[in-house]
Homo-oligomer: A and B are copies of this chain.
Amino acid sequence: MSRVKCPKCNKAERILKSGIVRNKQRFYCKDCNYHFIEASPKRKNNIVLKSNNDQISLQDIAAAAGVSTTTVSRALKDRTDISEKTKKFIKELANSMNYQPNMLAQSLVSRTTHTLGVIIPSLETTIFSTMLSGIQEEASRYGYRVIICTSNENQETEIANILGLMNNMIDGLLICHTIQTSTFEHIRIHMGKRIPIAQFYRVAIDLPITQILADDEVGAEEVTEYLIQKGCTRIAMLLGSKSLSITQKRFKGYQNILKKHGIKIDGKLLAYVDFSLEQVEKALDKWLKITPKIDAIISISDRSAVQIIRQLKKKKIKIPNQIRVFGFGNEFVGEIVEPQLSTFDTRIRVIGEEASRLLIEQIISGSREITSKLIPGKLVIRDSA
């Protein structure tokens, strides 16, 4: 019967049991007033643990080189206070040991992760993936990584994503709002914090943070002017959610030009949709019943414009003779559809790049200056107009 010995006084006489804690028997030595648990099979030597597939650390290099971790850090970071000889020696050693710094530890100390968070409504829509492409490449140029979250056009998800990202994992946040986003408290909460936020493409204009977006108003003006020059007077417009800048500003441009030409705005010619196929078709059907007949349609999205073209062709309505069609975005499909789609090229990719660049420069400089950047676009005239 192996009696339990106290690890301190090494005696076995006055040992009492003292409960079970976390499934292990616990003892109490009256001599040294010491509680203890029966020795569990401890890792005897850390060497065994090191020999597995773990990443090697600064300490491993330090041990191998016979110096302190500080010295190793200094050598690898090309800091001062180190001799050329040891620096070279340690660098070669680290190289041969295949050392890779642990970014988590670095980030914990430096409070920076060199990572951007991006919240985007969807990845399956061309304009969004193109913007993301711009964001990603520009970020990569600055040495930044990108974490993406999709909101699926759902405000709840957008809010959840923000919370999930704001946990010190990112240095800055880029957000393109959901089509249904109308309140912005979830953004305001984070506005004073260390992590800068910028909005792109779909922005809340009133929100005092940096925003990067297409020059929607001018774009709509140019499109509308073009159509009027072609003789159109009954111009219908397919818009998105009223709370979004793309809707507001593009409508504004449309309005400006109509006013300029003394044409009255007809509310029946405006449709606010979520860009789903059903809603687009429904809007179109309504328009076609209106008299005097419409002679042009401006769609806020190329994709919907393409769908409109297909519908019109089914109905044997001639484009552009009876109805001229204009899109926004200059996506690839516009080139493929027949007749080819006229559109306003918002230079989506550039918006992504600029958003990325502006945010990163805010991060680097630490400035929290609010800038509002408009990316100029240009008309692309094809057959549909």
Interface residues of A (CB under 8 A from B): 22, 53-55, 80, 100-105, 107-108, 113, 115, 122-124, 126, 129-130, 132-133, 136-137, 140, 145-150, 152, 163-169, 192-194, 306, 310, 332-333, 336-338, 349
A169 touches B53 (CB 8 A): no
- Chain B residues, Cβ within 8 Å of A132: 123, 129, 148
A103 touches B133 (CB 8 A): no
A129 touches B136 (CB 8 A): no
- Nearest to A307 among chain B residues (CB) is B336
- Residue in contact with A104 in the complex, picked from B137, B145, B169, CB distance below 8 Å: B169
Question: Can you name 6 A-B residue pairings with CB atoms under 8 Å?
Answer: A53-B193, A100-B163, A105-B108, A123-B129, A137-B152, A145-B169
- Residue in contact with A148 in the complex, picked from B53, B136, B167, B193, CB distance below 8 Å: B136
A126 touches B126 (CB 8 A): yes
- Nearest to A128 among chain B residues (CB) is B129
Q: Please, how many angstroms separate the alpha-carbon atoms of A284 and B108 in the complex?
A: 56
Copies in the complex: 2
Q: Please, how many angstroms separate the alpha-carbon atoms of A130 and B122 in the complex?
A: 10
With contact pairs A124-B130, A124-B133, A145-B149 given, residues A104 and B168 touching in the complex (Cβ less than 8 Å): yes
Q: Please, how many angstroms separate the alpha-carbon atoms of A123 and B129 in the complex?
A: 6
A103 touches B169 (CB 8 A): yes
- Chain B residues, Cβ within 8 Å of A123: 129-130, 132-133, 136
A164 touches B192 (CB 8 A): no
- Chain B residues, Cβ within 8 Å of A136: 123, 148-150
A147 touches B149 (CB 8 A): no
Taking the closest CB of chain B, its distance from the CB of A320, in whole angstroms, is: 17
With contact pairs A146-B147, A150-B136, A306-B336 given, residues A194 and B103 touching in the complex (Cβ less than 8 Å): no
B336 touches A168 (CB 8 A): no
Most chain B CB inside 10 Å of its own CB: which residue of A108, A123, A165, A192: A123
- Chain B residues, Cβ within 8 Å of A54: 194
- Nearest to A21 among chain B residues (CB) is B81
- Nearest to A81 among chain B residues (CB) is B22
Task: Identify 15 new A-B residue pairs, CB closer than 8 A, beyond the known A137-B152, A147-B148.
Answer: A53-B193, A102-B168, A103-B169, A104-B104, A104-B107, A104-B113, A123-B129, A123-B133, A129-B132, A140-B149, A140-B150, A146-B148, A332-B333, A333-B333, A337-B337
- Chain B residues, Cβ within 8 Å of A130: 123-124
Taking the closest CB of chain B, its distance from the CB of A178, in whole angstroms, is: 15
Q: Please, how many angstroms separate the alpha-carbon atoms of A132 and B376 in the complex?
A: 29
Taking the closest CB of chain B, its distance from the CB of A131, in whole angstroms, is: 9
Most chain B CB inside 10 Å of its own CB: which residue of A54, A148, A150: A148
B150 touches A147 (CB 8 A): no
B53 touches A167 (CB 8 A): no
Q: Please, how many angstroms separate the alpha-carbon atoms of A349 and B163 in the complex?
A: 27
- Chain B residues, Cβ within 8 Å of A336: 306, 310, 333, 336-337
Taking the closest CB of chain B, its distance from the CB of A171, in whole angstroms, is: 12
A145 touches B145 (CB 8 A): no
- Nearest to A146 among chain B residues (CB) is B148
Q: Please, how many angstroms separate the alpha-carbon atoms of A103 and B107 in the complex?
A: 11
